[in-house]
Amino acid sequence: MIAELHPAVKRQPQPRTLCAFAQRRYLTYPHANGFADGGRSLVFGQRDTNEYSLWKHDLVTGAERHISTWPRALCPGDMLWFDIARHVNRLAVVTKNTLHIIDLGYPGSAPVPVYRPSTAATLIPLPSITADGTRVILGQRTGINGHASIDLIEISLPPPARLTCSILHPPPRPLARFDWPANHFHLCPADETWIGLCHEGPALQVAARVWAWHAQHAPRGRPLFDNAAAGLAIGHERWAFHSPCTYAVAYGESPREPRGVYQIFNDARPARLISEGNRDWHVSPSHCGRWLVIDTTGPHDAPGRGWENAASISDILLIDTATGRRHFLARSRLRHDCHLHPHPVFSPDGSAIFYNESSPDATGHRVLSISNPWIND
């Protein structure tokens, strides 16, 4: 049964614009962290005609600080993703096939290269940094096309400080190697000994997309959900802050039901349907585990499922993890460039949701926020 929208709250919050369409700013990938200064600040990416840049925005005062700029040609796949250590102001980013660290607590700090693979290998530009900022995990690809292998690697870092010179590491021994397109490696915030990853590819064609790695319990990686057996196109997994589990979406294209948001565990427990829906797309949990936020493939109330009647619209919905009830928060516009998906995320304290929106003429994009109406429930 499709989850019904919860009756309107006493006062529906209104979105707040944090930057202009013309600035072409966006949030980092949903399974990374873009918040700094204990949640007071948020780092935006900015994509201009010839370059990418990073900006730190104070959510209280609106003050901004430029972090760094790179030519677009140096950004792999014409994307710039980043991750910030949750307990310290240290940012990890990949450009020019090199992992860089920026210590944000020191104004003017420049990107410091800490790892560059051999010319035969390519870094996957989705780093994941530990909460204390002392380790980064990411994928490294060797070979091309159907002959590539993916290594899960870990780079150790000195304690947070103002790094001023290169500390390039030698090639690390892989934690694991995969002979299929593994991607989206990210540390489980609740237990960083667990690393989430996916078998990338069309969710209708990949038999098992959601995987986990653990040095003892899953040293070669372990699939956590059988897409083929369930008849569900499951993807866009995001590991949780409160428990070693992940949330993932059974897309509207799934041939079977129930579609919607599932909780998937790191052990043998069966997946749990949280909330049913025919247009769910990306999912992100609050740190406390009480709520989820999703975006949709088209208006949530439009007929059809998946991308049917989508009309470049994506809605932002709030979900109660205990009951599955939903609440409409805002309507956004999307483009198919990955960094222009809405990608909603919670603030660390759960009081607000942040998301991307494209301009009506598709030339610009911006970031907005909206209050969580259930924060005091």
For 229, the enclosing helix (H) or strand (E) is helix 227-230
Closest CA relative to residue 245, chosen from 190, 318, 320, 182? 190
pTM for the structure as a whole = 0.96
Residues 6+ apart with CB under 8 A from 120: 142
Closest CA relative to residue 13, chosen from 318, 366, 344, 298? 318
Tokens for 140?
């490294």
Residues 6+ apart with CB under 8 A from 374: 9, 290, 291, 318, 320, 327
**pLDDT at residue 8, rounded to an integer:** 54
In sign, the C-alpha dihedral spanning 361, 79, 16, 252 is positive
Closest CA relative to residue 126, chosen from 195, 180, 70? 195
Residues 6+ apart with CB under 8 A from 278: 2, 252, 259, 260, 304, 305, 306
Closest CA relative to residue 171, chosen from 142, 191, 144, 132? 142
Q: Is 303 exposed, middle or buried (0-12, 13-18, 19+ CB in 10 A)?
A: exposed
Q: Coil, helix or strand for 76?
A: helix
Q: Residue 248 corresponds to which amino acid?
A: A
CA dihedral 224, 229, 231, 237 (to 10 degrees): 10
Give CA–CA dist 37/86, Å, rounded. Answer: 9
**pLDDT at residue 4, rounded to an integer:** 59
16-371 has CATH 1.25.40.340 classification: no
Residue that the structure tokens 């909330």 belong to: 275
Residues 6+ apart with CB under 8 A from 282: 30, 236, 238, 249, 294, 295, 341, 342, 343, 344
In sign, the C-alpha dihedral spanning 240, 39, 372, 345 is negative
CA distance to 155, 197, 219, per residue, from 30 (Å): 22, 14, 25
Confirm if 253 and 200 have CB atoms less than 8 A apart. no
Omega within 30 of 0 (cis) for the link into 223: no
How many CB atoms are closer than 10 A to CB 87? Answer: 12
List average pLDDT for each run of 10 residues in the chain, which is 377 residues long.
61 94 97 98 96 98 97 88 97 96 88 92 97 97 82 92 72 95 98 98 92 98 96 97 98 98 96 98 98 98 96 97 98 88 98 97 95 92
Residue ranges per domain, the chain? 16-371
Residues 6+ apart with CB under 8 A from 216: none
For 44, the enclosing helix (H) or strand (E) is strand 41-47
Q: Are strands 210-214 and 90-95 parallel, antiparallel or unpaired?
A: unpaired
Residue that the structure tokens 């319990």 belong to: 217
Length of the chain: 377
CA 39 to chain CA centroid, Å, is 17
Give CA–CA dist 362/241, Å, rounded. Answer: 34
CA distance to 28, 56, 89, 94, per residue, from 105 (Å): 19, 11, 5, 20
Kindly tell me the number of DSSP H helices and DSSP E strands found in the chain.
1, 30
Residue that the structure tokens 């990107």 belong to: 111
**pLDDT at residue 291, rounded to an integer:** 99
